Amino acid sequence: MERKNLKSKFFRKSINNKKTYKRNIALAAAVVLVITAGIVGSNAEVYATRVSNIIGRDIGSLLGIEKNLDEYKTVVNKTVTDKGITMKLNEVILDGNELTVSYDVSSNEKLKEYSSWMPFNTIYLNGKKASNAAGGSARNIDEYTTEEVMTYTLDKVDLSGDLNVKILCDTIRLGDIEKKGLWSFEFKTNGNQLKTDTKEMTLNNKFMLENGKEYTLTKYIDNALSQKIYASAQETNLKTKSAYAIELRGTDDLGNKVSFYMSYDAKNEALFKTGKINEKAKTLTLTPYAAKYPEKSGKMDGEYKKVGEKFIIDLSKLK
Question: DSSP secondary structure string, the chain?
Answer: -B--S---HHHHTS-TTS--EEE----SS----B------TTHHHHHHHHHHT--PPPHHHHTT--S--TTTEEEEEEEEEETTEEEEEEEEEEETTEEEEEEEEEESSPPPTT--EEE-PEEEETTEE-EEEEEEEEEESSSSEEEEEEEEEEPS----SEEEEEEEEEEEEETTEEEEEEEEEEEEEE-HHHHHT-EEEEEEEEEE-TTS-EEEEEEEEE-SS-EEEEEEEE-TT-S----EEEEEEEEETTS-EEEEEEEEE-SSEEEEEES---TT--EEEEEEEEEEPPSSSSS-EEEEEE-S--EEEEGGG--
* Claim to verify: residue 156 and residue 28 sit in the same structural domain: yes
pLDDT at 224: 92
pLDDT at 299: 63
Query: Which domain-ending residue is among 142, 164, 194?
Result: 194
pLDDT at 301: 57
The domain in which residue 249 lies consists of: 198-317
Q: What is d(CA 91, CA 59) in angstroms, rounded to the nearest whole number?
A: 6
* Claim to verify: residue 42 and residue 189 sit in the same structural domain: yes
Contact 187, 78 (CB under 8 A): yes
* Claim to verify: residue 137 and residue 234 sit in the same structural domain: no
pLDDT at 9: 32
pLDDT at 275: 67
Is residue 4 included in any domain, yes or no? no
* CA distances, 22 to each of 92, 112, 155, 287, 310 (Å): 20, 16, 25, 25, 30
For the chain, how many structural domains are there in total?
2
Is residue 35 included in any domain, yes or no? yes
* Claim to verify: residue 165 and residue 229 sit in the same structural domain: no
pLDDT at 271: 94
pLDDT at 137: 87
DSSP-derived pairing of the beta strands 283-292 and 244-252: antiparallel
Q: pTM for this structure? A: 0.77
* Claim to verify: residue 186 and residue 227 sit in the same structural domain: no
Is residue 2 included in any domain, yes or no? no
List beta partners, residue 78: 89
Is residue 1 included in any domain, yes or no? no
* Claim to verify: residue 180 and residue 238 sit in the same structural domain: no
Query: Which domain-ending residue is among 174, 194, 214?
Result: 194
Where the chain has pLDDT below 50, the residues are 1-55
* Claim to verify: residue 183 and residue 309 sit in the same structural domain: no
* Claim to verify: residue 185 and residue 250 sit in the same structural domain: no
